[in-house]
Structure 1
């Protein structure tokens, strides 16, 4: 079991924030968790510890948003997601910790940029309908980055936001999508040894925080501005992204 105090100092607020996000704000802060925890431990270990916690959050979120999802979009997105997961699993085996840390850092900075500029641009474009081509492409990207760093939220947002779905339908669709993706990820994570007993025991320590965060997110769904909530969290994500990229470059250069 992980015994570093810095890891737990980061993990407790991160798990609560991700639970808040999954419970009431579309799950976008999955992209926050691995970069922040990678400041304390190997990103592969961070991803492994988080996966069982995310799966437990999914159960609470599924019950809270049961039946409130867009079936056509889900049928379009699932095949692409499976392809992305397969590519992520295949590539993950050949990456070392510094390479993954660098990739996770770049993802974090990209997702901050997407939040600051891309999200607002997407919300202003003309309303689009569900598309097999766009849905397959963005869901495959989501599956890939979800396997590497549980960070598939922004690519799915790029696909879904221009459809201007009602807020609850948007959240419910992302909840079901990532619930299926996360439970499928358990198989290769265990098979390759990434999710071992050390990671699993650490997950159990943090697990009680998962339903607390999700239920609080459901309660805050209609009571707090998602702009304020995500603004604060993405500042933290930007810091983590810069630090991870800088550390990786220092290792490679020196």
Structure 2
């Protein structure tokens, strides 16, 4: 497909928000990139286009948070992410473009509802260490939702917020977890034919924005109030998710 000014206007915003989130805000808003891009290109291509950029963000973030993570919780999410990735691959190869569009849209709206429920304290993760089974369970959900639409943030959050981690340890743990999960997704995306020469060119153009956004996020980690940043992304997710569901059903 042809990538004109409208595409790049949306793509720059999507990649920048995702990179800033990954660099400084626990990857929570990073999910906005897939629903936004799916508005201007086929959803499966949007998900495939984003993976190399997310991997670039992961590598850029690692240096700033190196070994600041909680390894026990990270390891459980990473191990659980393997069967979740396999499940996502099995489902992804079996559904139509509208099916992918519907899933991405539903996850976008579900993410917004999840955040509203958290903020209003309707949904609270159980406090304390919930043990190995909980970590593996949430890791599986994280791997699955990450594979389908790079939406692994909410299930990882549900597990990590109950672990009592400080802000930096939490951020560092999400960085190493999604570095691993995105890496193991790569061969499955290749098998599904989700990368093209055209998408590689777009990745090359957007790569500097991804790197710059991560550094902006690292800088903003201790300086910027999170509420305004997340409110913007939730609004974008609600609009994009609703539009994708409408398009899939009509």
TM-score (ref. length: structure 2): 0.95
> How far, CA to CA, are the matches of 1:19 and 1:122 in structure 2?
29
Partner of 2:246: 246
- Aligned Cα RMSD in Å? 1.6
CA distance in 2, matches of 1:148, 1:125: 24
- Shift of the 124–138 alpha-carbon distance from structure 1 to 2, 3 Å rule, reads closer
Query: What is aligned with 1:88?
Result: 88
Q: d(CA) in 1 for partners of 2:105 and 2:163?
A: 29
2:146 paired residue number: 146
Give the match for residue 180 of structure 2.
180
Comparing 57-66 with 3-12, greater Cα deviation is found at: 3-12
Q: Is the 8 A contact 2:77 2:142 kept in 1?
A: no
Unaligned runs of 5+ in 1: none
Equivalent position SS for 1:208: helix
Q: 2:47 maps to what in 1?
A: 47
> For 1:41 and 1:125, how far apart are their aligned partners in 2?
36
Indicate if the aligned counterparts of 2:19 and 2:211 stay in contact, CA closer than 8 A.
yes
Deviation >6 Å, runs of 4+: none
Matched, 1:24 2:24: yes
- Report 1:1-254 matches (<5 A): 2-118=2-118, 121=121, 127-250=127-250
Please report how far the alpha carbon of residue 130 of structure 1 lies from its aligned counterpart in structure 2 after TM superposition: 4.5
Change (3 A) 1:37 1:126: closer
TM-score, reference length from structure 1: 0.94
Aligned residues: 250
- Inter-partner Cα distance in structure 2 for 1:143 and 1:3: 30
